[in-house]
Amino acid sequence: MQDAPLPARHEVAFDIGTGTGLLAIILAKRGVGQVVATDSNPRALACAADNLERSALSEIQLQEVDLFPTGQPLADLIVCNPPWLPAKPSSALELAVYDPKSRMLRGFLQGVRAHLAPQGEVWLILSDLAEHLQLRTREQLLAWFAEAKLDVKYRLDTQPKHGRSQDSTDPLHAARSAEVTSLWCLTPA
């Protein structure tokens, strides 16, 4: 996300499903005037609030909502790093990894245009691990973009650097070592 060029206008940005608040902090540090970070999990928002307090950034607001903030202007940039695997979580901690039936991802894609300024951009940060595990196909993801009337402007890819991607004894080594995390820059079609 550090290498992605900000849209020409970047006064207002939303970080949907903020979790720890890291992406909201990065946006504010990169010069976005107002950042609204949302999450439906109160524990995630408490973590984000703690991180925001330590960062001393006043341009970030937190909202406890499912997906999009309320009472806000249209955003110039909307960022989302949804859970990557379309499967059912078995604990609260797994909510950050598992998205049953891709509910959050699909809800985000279907609703994002209603909250996006006319020349705005959507940054979807998503691993292709689900594709390697045959839980979702690339064609399915691209079809969801098309259904949401979103075009791919560009995609920035990064290879995994975490230890499990290098550990050949890990049962998921083949998938993890091939994993690519992408920042998909999407614009209204």
pLDDT digits (tens, 9 = 90+) for 31-81: 999 999 999 999 999 999 999 999 988 789 999 999 999 999 999 999 999
**What pLDDT is recorded for position 164?**
60
**What pLDDT is recorded for position 32?**
95
Q: Could you tell me if residue 4 is inside a domain?
A: no
Helical spans, DSSP H, in the chain: 22-29, 42-55, 103-111, 129-132, 138-147, 163-166, 173-178
pTM score: 0.90
Q: Could you tell me if residue 3 is inside a domain?
A: no
Q: Could you tell me if residue 2 is inside a domain?
A: no
Q: Could you tell me if residue 78 is inside a domain?
A: yes
Q: Could you tell me if residue 53 is inside a domain?
A: yes
Q: Could you tell me if residue 6 is inside a domain?
A: no
Domain CATH for 112: 3.40.50.150
Q: Could you tell me if residue 119 is inside a domain?
A: yes
Domain count, the chain: 1
The span from the CA of 149 to the CA of 47, in Å, is 34
Using alpha carbons, list the distances in angstroms from residue 48 to 42, 96, 98, 189.
Answer: 10, 14, 20, 33
Give me the average pLDDT of each 10-residue run along the chain (189 residues): 89 96 96 96 94 89 96 96 85 78 94 97 94 91 98 92 67 73 96
Q: Could you tell me if residue 93 is inside a domain?
A: yes
**What pLDDT is recorded for position 94?**
78
Angle between helices 22-29 and 42-55 (to 10 degrees): 30
Range of the domain at 128: 12-188
What tokens does 106 get? Answer: 């699909």
